[in-house]
A and B are shown apart, each in its own frame.
Chain A
Amino acid sequence: MSFAPRPAVQPWARVNTGRRIQILLASIVPILLTAAVILVTGLDRNVALMGVFLPLQLIAASAVGFRAFGRRGVGDAALIVFVVFFATFVLVLLASVVFSLVSQGAQAMSWGFFTQNNRYVSNTTSLEYGGVGHAIIGTLLVVGLTTVVTVPLGIAMAIYLTQSQSKTKGIIRTLTQAISGLPSVVAGLFILSIAITLDWQKSGFLGSMALLPLMLPTIARVAEEALRLVPVDLRYAALALGAPNYRAFFQVILPAAKSGLVTAILLGVARIIGETAPLILTVPINNGTSWNLFSGEIMTLPAYVYNYLGSAFVPSQNRAWGGALVLMILVAILFGATRILSRSKSLKSKPTKEKASK
């Protein structure tokens, strides 16, 4: 190594075109080499991925990093390789779930699958007959009842956590967080033990109650965040004008936080719509359509999937995939709605902030 003065390069401009080509090469060559190794030696793909691709990629990236930044570049390269590798891994898993759902579930999709019930369906009946109509109705009823009960409760909780001056707020927030980790099977057992103690019959209503502790923390937390986003000056201004707290809330804060609260409700519904264990413990299932939540059997989508999943017969397994796809579509609709809402909220929030600062 000579001590000749280095050319006056700009250190921040080291990622130039030449470097870009090197980075590109470092990303492509290991993939090609790994593919070649698999083709030539017939090595197992998983072994090749971990034993050939990852080391090669590390070496290639480190070499480029070393050429660009010296020794400091090596650590950077390793960090980037691992981060991208792990993140891609999660992405691949997610893609695999969605892809297999869509490809397997598509076999079952037809208009009849959405509208018919399974009254005359046996394990081997072909997919042209029967469907998830009764399960969709049951899910909407059970989840709807939970929503009607939980939403006022959760939002009132969020109001308490944001508007009052009470000292127990910290404890209640921690407790709510702790409830959010309540195992779903325990929620089911809780309602089951109430039912046994009070000698109630299993019904859709019990299922709704079992979903309540699972939905409540989500709504309370998201609604609290939404209320917190409203500038506190707005509330103080309303109070200074002589409004009592409740009018300040209903006339000033509520309109400003409306879309956030709707998001809270949608996320709460998305959280419980796929819950399976509590419903299996508390709701008896059937194959016919039922509109009665308070007595008798009622089918729900998660229970439908659960019911056909364990079957050894291919048509029943396909029913499970179909039911899961319908469930996923419902979740995706809820999820998409929250995204659209949050986008429109961020567009609207700018003018209100300006107004508030004026």
Chain B
Amino acid sequence: MSESSVTKPAPVRRKLSAGPLSTGDKWFFRTTSIAANFAFVLVAFILIFLFIQALPALTSQGLPFVYGTEWNNQQDPIVMQIGPMIWGSLLIGAIGVVFATPLAVSLAYLIVFMLPSRLAKVATTLVDLLAALPSVIIGLWGLFVFSPVASEWGAILNKYLGWVPIFQVKSADNGFGGSPFIAGWIVAIMIVPIITSITREVFSQLDRDLINGALALGGSRFSTFRRVIFPTSAGAVVGGVLLGLGRALGETVAIFYVLQITFNINWGQILEPNGGAVASMILSKFGEATQEEVSGLIAAGLVLFILTLGINFIASIIVNRAQPWRKN
């Protein structure tokens, strides 16, 4: 070692940085982050533009827009109120969720815990196929095939369980078509896949040792389900059900064909051919809408958007919290 090397100045300490170093990387991350932040922009744009176009209707109608029960474009100050539609959407969503949840949880249980893996794959594919059916096809089938059958179900329910308030009708002569009951079934068929897929994922991620332990302690299939599987997965299932509810509220075309939309509020006579749904109402009014009415319909869309966005947001938080293995 020569002396000159000692006097040589120490190399400049390299700067440590966690950020991208090269120009290429900077552009790579910049582009992707712009794309990702497009999600914010999209939601903001939807809110802003809907609001701009809804403003004339909202200012002219005031607060009764949300709870009033009349839509009349013949009067001079035009009356547009969507109370029965909002209530109808919630009612149909609730009916759909009540029908869909047992079906979906059963399917998920069957796929994860009962079927051999090859059959389970087939069943999963079938459920995915059900999810892929476009809603206009469900509407077509609902109108020509399902409605007649479901009206029969409605008639039977009314005949044997007519003493229960929700199964009462004013007059059986109106028939049982076009009721929230049928629309609820249609919605249930459309949300079964989403609830199934979330429930299935949670079931398949459950700790197998936990289940085997319960079985080894003498538990049966049923007690294992009640004491082990159900408590650990209930949270995610609730999230899935909420996601399904959000889907149900936004369902448009399929409900449009099977529901008799009226502006009389239907508090819970689910077999009465009288119901409402915000999304389907927008579609049904849009064809002959005047300029003022279009503004009213956009306002209805804004209400629907805020409603579904809220439900979906809560649902995704619940689902994410209940599936810690999806984190990072």
Residues of chain A touching chain B, judged by Cβ–Cβ distance below 8 Å, are: 44, 46-47, 69, 72-73, 75-76, 78-80, 82-87, 89-91, 93-94, 96-97, 100-101, 104, 152-153, 156-157, 159-161, 163-166, 168-169, 172-186, 189-190, 192-194, 196-197, 213, 216, 244-247, 249, 270-271, 273-277, 280-281, 302, 305-306, 309, 317, 320-321, 324, 327-328, 331, 334-335, 339
Contacts and interface: CB of A to CB of B under 8 A. Distances in A.
Which 9 A-B residue pairs are closest in the complex by CB-CB distance? A274-B134, A183-B250, A75-B222, A156-B35, A193-B53, A86-B106, A181-B312, A246-B28, A160-B36
Given A157-B36, A179-B43, A244 B253 contact: no
Interface string B239-282: 00001001101111100010000000000000000000001001
Nearest to B242: A181
B134 A186 contact: no
A183 B308 CA distance: 8
29 contacts: A75-B223, A94-B126, A96-B146, A97-B145, A104-B144, A152-B35, A159-B35, A160-B35, A165-B18, A177-B319, A178-B316, A181-B243, A181-B250, A183-B252, A185-B252, A186-B279, A189-B282, A190-B46, A193-B53, A196-B294, A213-B42, A244-B20, A245-B29, A274-B134, A274-B135, A306-B136, A309-B136, A309-B143, A327-B137
A216 to B, nearest CB: 7
B24 A247 contact: yes
Contact of B222 (A76, A163, A182, A277): A76
Contacts of B7: none
A173 to B, nearest CB: 8
Residues of B in contact with A, size category: 35 or more
Nearest to A104: B144
A182 B20 CA distance: 35
Contacts, number: 265
B79 to A, nearest CB: 21
A280 B220 contact: no
Max chain B Cβ within 10 angstroms of own Cβ: one of A101, A157, A168, A321? A157
* Chain A interface helix/strand/loop/mixed: helix
Contacts of B308: 181-183, 186
Contacts of B301: 185-186, 189-190
Contact of B110 (A84, A156, A165): A84
Given A156-B36, A176-B39, A178-B309, A186 B140 contact: no
Contacts of A334: 132
Contacts of A309: 136, 139-140, 143, 257
A196 B291 CA distance: 10
Interface in B50-103: 50, 52-54, 102-103
Given A76-B220, A249-B28, A327-B134, 6 more contacts: A44-B152, A177-B312, A185-B304, A193-B53, A244-B20, A280-B283
A197 B49 contact: yes
Contacts of B42: 179, 213, 216
Nearest to B299: A189
Given A47-B156, A153-B35, A276 B22 contact: no
Contacts of A276: 134-136, 252-253
B51 to A, nearest CB: 9
Nearest to A320: B140
Contacts of B320: 173-174
Contacts of A216: 39, 42
A78 B222 contact: yes
A179 B250 CA distance: 12
Contact of A174 (B45, B140, B160, B316): B316
